[in-house]
């Protein structure tokens, strides 16, 4: 091993062997390289391999780290404890879990096991799984365990309403079922390890004596439970090296707490900090643009990342009238790059949410461009909202299937009893007869029959629009979402996407044929990805792009309400959204394209503030700077606060106080050179 292979900062990290060490590593700065060299250096300095632990988040990362350490250190390195948080805790529990009243042969529930258990409990407690979906409960329980909250503690911190009471009941029953089944779920692996340490201090002390050098990769992604585990293990030796990047903390939604890395010095005041500030991945224009974005966050370490590579091409920022125009441009660019010799797998299209990919996927299928889905791209045609639309149309086309009627007869509510639909095939005249003593119900059913008849005369696009607004499905959906604490906006946007997909089809038959073909193509693609390595353009959400890199990256739909997402309301939420955009930008090595829209689904769209931050560097927005405003004309900046800017315009009598983010997002302000 030769430490001269490292740059000055990487070498400093590798040579700092004693005491707490915080390595702040920017995107593409070689953090894994520094970490593996440090472990190898410990071995060279006589530290036994079993005294060293390296913790990662994925099995793939653990495997890669082990291979790199063994390549550097050679024989003996195989005894180093390299694992994920969860596999490491599972190893500890297999030895000592009997002290908690379990046997060593405990079962670890996977996702399917958890869902089955929760469905069984809901049924036993007589709780409607449509009102309280098992997936939602699973998420709440996982979040509670990541914060080390049992059922009672969680409930005391909840809204303590009827819904919270039901979740508490299910959580309690779920924990009892796990215990009686000698089983743990994934989150329990850490929770029970911490319980073991708390209840049996000699066990903790034994591990503290044995493991004297601890390394944690991607420390910015740790949750509270993981933070407590690491703190306990390192409490005696104080030899804790954490590596991460606060600017890439993007998993707050699943419990990651950025304060763990920002406040590391509070737990370890004697910490030595090393900054890896050279980006070896991306060319200079990309690094500079990403820096212009991320420096607008306040919750971060102040650092300046510089590029090792020279500037090659500026960031390509373009606006398109519609999604169709945007997708056509993406397809055109991909084909051009491939014609220049860039393999498909060196290109990626990144989305904020996975539902955005539908239209581009269809175009890629049309042009026979291979693709790889980095995360599960949901088929909007299989969503329950889509199935409701289809049920209406199927009935309009003559279906008498009870299943179709049950789906939509009370969407919106017509107060039709399920008992009245007791046959496998529904005869509408019989249904009317059953309500002959209730004229008001017959009136509702007559209106239903009229609506269904109207659908028979429409094209698919118009039919969906009629179901939504003429029949009142949108209003039903908003109430449904509110009652169940769902995001109604997401469901309405899915309907927008569905309606848009039907736009170019004149008959239901044509549209259904397209849906069938699209679904089959997705199925084939998923199968192909499982069976073989394919050369395809990567399609991924910003979340799932982390840790990956490509020669060419497209960020699409860079608009307000998309990125930052409409759910991001608090300053902390906006900062995480900005970090996500930063992560997406820094996946690109040579070429970065950022596209945004003027309109979507017939509604005007506004450019993302993050794009505005690239176009107008906030450092240039300072007193004395000459600017041009789209409305007020030329002026000079007089004062800048955190969120506002005061400008004296040449042709306006009074100074104007303007919102900086609004000006950037709407391209209202230009800096005069």
User: pLDDT tens digits, residue range 483-513?
Assistant: 888 888 989 999 999 999 999 899 999 999 9
User: pLDDT tens digits, residue range 591-613?
Assistant: 999 999 999 988 999 999 999 99
Contact 550, 588 (CB under 8 A): yes
Both tokens assigned to 129:
């799984």
- Residues whose CB is less than 8 angstroms from the CB of residue 479 and which lie 6 or more positions away in sequence, other chains included: none
- Residues whose CB is less than 8 angstroms from the CB of residue 447 and which lie 6 or more positions away in sequence, other chains included: none
Least-confidence region, from 39-53, 100-114, 345-359, 658-672 = 658-672
Question: What is the average pLDDT across 15-33?
Answer: 94
Q: How many other CB atoms are there within 10 angstroms of residue 535's CB atom?
A: 11
Is 83 a residue whose pLDDT tops 70? yes
User: pLDDT tens digits, residue range 148-192?
Assistant: 999 999 999 988 889 899 999 999 999 999 999 999 999 999 999
Is 413 a residue whose pLDDT tops 80? yes
Least-confidence region, from 60-64, 99-103, 619-623 = 619-623
Question: What is the average pLDDT across 388-410?
Answer: 95
Between residues 196 and 1, which one has the greater pLDDT? 196
Helix/strand/coil (H, E, C) string of 243-295? Answer: EECHHHCCCHHHCCCCHHHHCHHHHCCCCEEEEECEEEEEEHHHHHHHHHHHC
**Over the chain, what is the mean pLDDT?**
93
Question: What percentage of the chain has pLDDT greater than the value 90?
Answer: 77
The pLDDT value recorded for residue 530 is 67
Residue 565: pLDDT band by 50, 70, 90 thresholds? very high
The pLDDT value recorded for residue 661 is 77
User: pLDDT tens digits, residue range 521-542?
Assistant: 888 877 776 666 678 999 999 9
The pLDDT value recorded for residue 664 is 75
Least-confidence region, from 136-140, 267-271, 351-355, 636-640 = 351-355
Question: What is the average pLDDT across 81-107?
Answer: 96
Contact 28, 280 (CB under 8 A): yes
Is 115 a residue whose pLDDT tops 80? yes
Question: What is the average pLDDT across 320-340?
Answer: 96
The pLDDT value recorded for residue 532 is 65
Reference 459, options 409, 496, 495, 509; nearest CA is 509
User: pLDDT tens digits, residue range 143-156?
Assistant: 999 999 999 999 99
The pLDDT value recorded for residue 531 is 66
Q: What pTM was computed for the model?
A: 0.89
Question: What is the average pLDDT across 452-470?
Answer: 96
Write the CA distances from 274 to 12, 15, 35, 244, 350, integer angstroms: 7, 11, 12, 11, 31
The pLDDT value recorded for residue 673 is 66
3-state SS assignment for residue 74? coil
The pLDDT value recorded for residue 159 is 85
Question: 36's torsion region: left (phi>0), alpha (psi -120 to 50) or beta?
Answer: alpha
Is 570 a residue whose pLDDT tops 70? yes
Residue 129: pLDDT band by 50, 70, 90 thresholds? confident
Question: What is the average pLDDT across 461-482?
Answer: 95
User: What is the C-alpha separation between 419 and 284, in angstroms, rounded?
Assistant: 68
The pLDDT value recorded for residue 377 is 66
Question: What is the average pLDDT across 388-413?
Answer: 94
Q: What's the gap between Cα 581 and its chain centre?
A: 11
Is 12 a residue whose pLDDT tops 80? yes
Q: At what angle do helices 571-585 and 284-294 cross, to 10 degrees?
A: 180
> Computed over its alpha carbons, how large is the radius of gyration of the chain?
29
Residue with tokens 């073989």: 532
User: pLDDT tens digits, residue range 348-359?
Assistant: 999 998 888 888
User: pLDDT tens digits, residue range 103-113?
Assistant: 999 999 999 99
Question: What is the average pLDDT across 12-32?
Answer: 94
Is 554 a residue whose pLDDT tops 90? yes
The pLDDT value recorded for residue 552 is 98
Residue 397: pLDDT band by 50, 70, 90 thresholds? very high
Residue 74: pLDDT band by 50, 70, 90 thresholds? confident
Between residues 89 and 668, which one has the greater pLDDT? 89
Torsion of CA 481, 484, 490, 494, to 10 degrees: -70
User: pLDDT tens digits, residue range 227-239?
Assistant: 999 999 999 999 9
Is 70 a residue whose pLDDT tops 80? yes
The pLDDT value recorded for residue 616 is 84
User: What is the C-alpha separation between 255 and 275, in angstroms, rounded?
Assistant: 26
Residues catalogued as catalytic: 31-32, 217-218, 248, 587
User: What is the C-alpha separation between 295 and 274, in angstroms, rounded?
Assistant: 19
Write the CA distances from 338 to 58, 319, 332, 369, 410, integer angstroms: 32, 23, 10, 10, 51
Is 665 a residue whose pLDDT tops 80? no
């Amino acid at each position: 091993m030769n430490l001269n292979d490292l740059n000055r900062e990487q070498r400093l990290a590798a040579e700092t062997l004693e005491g707490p060490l915080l390595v702040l590593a920017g995107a593409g700065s070689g953090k894994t390289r520094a970490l593996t060299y440090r472990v190898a250096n410990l071995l060279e300095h006589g530290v036994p391999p079993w005294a060293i632990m390296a913790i990662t988040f994925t099995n793939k990362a653990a495997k890669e780290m082990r291979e790199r350490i063994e390549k550097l250190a050679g024989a003996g390195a195989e005894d180093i404890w390299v694992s994920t948080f969860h596999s490491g805790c599972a190893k500890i529990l297999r030895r000592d879990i009997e002290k908690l009243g379990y046997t060593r042969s405990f079962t670890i529930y996977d996702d399917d096991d958890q869902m089955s258990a929760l469905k069984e409990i809901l049924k036993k407690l007589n709780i409607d799984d449509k009102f309280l979906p098992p997936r939602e409960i699973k998420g709440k329980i996982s979040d509670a365990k990541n914060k080390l909250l049992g059922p009672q503690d969680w409930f005391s911190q909840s809204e303590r309403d009827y819904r919270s009471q039901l979740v508490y009941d299910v959580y309690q029953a779920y924990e009892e079922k796990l215990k009686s089944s000698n089983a743990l779920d994934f989150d329990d692996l850490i929770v029970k390890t911490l319980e073991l340490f708390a209840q049996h201090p000699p066990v903790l002390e034994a591990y503290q004596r044995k493991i004297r050098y601890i390394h944690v990769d991607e420390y910015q992604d740790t949750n509270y439970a993981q933070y407590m585990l690491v703190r306990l293990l390192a409490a005696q030796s104080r030899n804790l090296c954490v590596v991460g990047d606060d600017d890439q903390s993007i998993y707050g939604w699943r419990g990651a707490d950025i304060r763990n890395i920002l406040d590391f010095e509070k737990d370890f005041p004697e910490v030595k900090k090393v900054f890896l500030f050279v980006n070896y991945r991306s060319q200079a224009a990309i690094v500079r643009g990403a820096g212009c974005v991320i420096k607008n966050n306040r919750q971060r370490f102040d650092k300046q990342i510089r590029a090792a590579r020279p500037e090659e091409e500026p960031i390509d920022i373009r606006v398109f009238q519609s999604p169709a125009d945007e997708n056509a441009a993406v397809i055109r660019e991909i084909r051009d790059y491939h014609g220049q010799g860039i393999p498909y797998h060196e290109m990626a299209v990144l989305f904020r949410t996975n539902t955005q990919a539908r239209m581009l996927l269809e175009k890629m299928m049309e042009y026979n461009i291979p693709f790889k889905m980095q995360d599960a791209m949901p088929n909007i045609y299989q969503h329950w909202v889509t199935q409701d639309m289809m049920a209406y149309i199927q009935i309009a086309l003559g279906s008498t299937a009870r299943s179709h009627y049950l789906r939509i007869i009370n969407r919106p509510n017509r107060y039709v009893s399920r008992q009245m639909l007791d046959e496998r095939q529904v005869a509408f005249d019989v249904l009317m007869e059953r309500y002959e003593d209730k004229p008001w119900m017959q009136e509702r059913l007559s209106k239903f029959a009229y609506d269904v008849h109207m659908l028979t005369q429409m094209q698919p696009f118009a039919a969906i629009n009629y179901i939504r607004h003429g029949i009142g499905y949108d209003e039903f959906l908003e109430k449904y979402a509110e009652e169940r604490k769902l995001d109604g906006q997401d469901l309405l946007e899915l309907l927008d996407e569905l309606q848009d997909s039907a736009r170019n089809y004149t008959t239901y038959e044509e549209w259904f044929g397209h849906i069938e073909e699209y679904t089959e193509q997705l199925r084939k693609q998923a199968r192909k990805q499982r069976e073989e390595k394919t050369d395809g353009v990567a399609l991924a959400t910003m979340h799932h792009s982390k840790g990956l890199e490509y020669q060419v990256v497209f960020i699409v739909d860079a608009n307000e309400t998309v990125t930052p997402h409409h759910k991001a309301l608090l300053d902390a939420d906006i900062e995480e959204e900005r970090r996500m955009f930063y992560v997406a930008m820094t996946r690109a090595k040579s070429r970065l394209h950022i596209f945004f829209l003027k309109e979507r689904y017939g509604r005007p769209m506004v450019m993302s503030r993050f794009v505005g931050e690239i176009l107008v560097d906030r450092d240039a927005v300072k007193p004395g700077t000459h600017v041009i405003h789209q409305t007020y004309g030329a002026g000079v900046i007089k004062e800048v606060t955190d969120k506002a800017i005061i400008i004296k315009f040449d042709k306006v009598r009074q100074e104007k106080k303007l919102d900086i983010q609004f000006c950037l997002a709407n391209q209202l302000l230009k800096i005069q050179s």
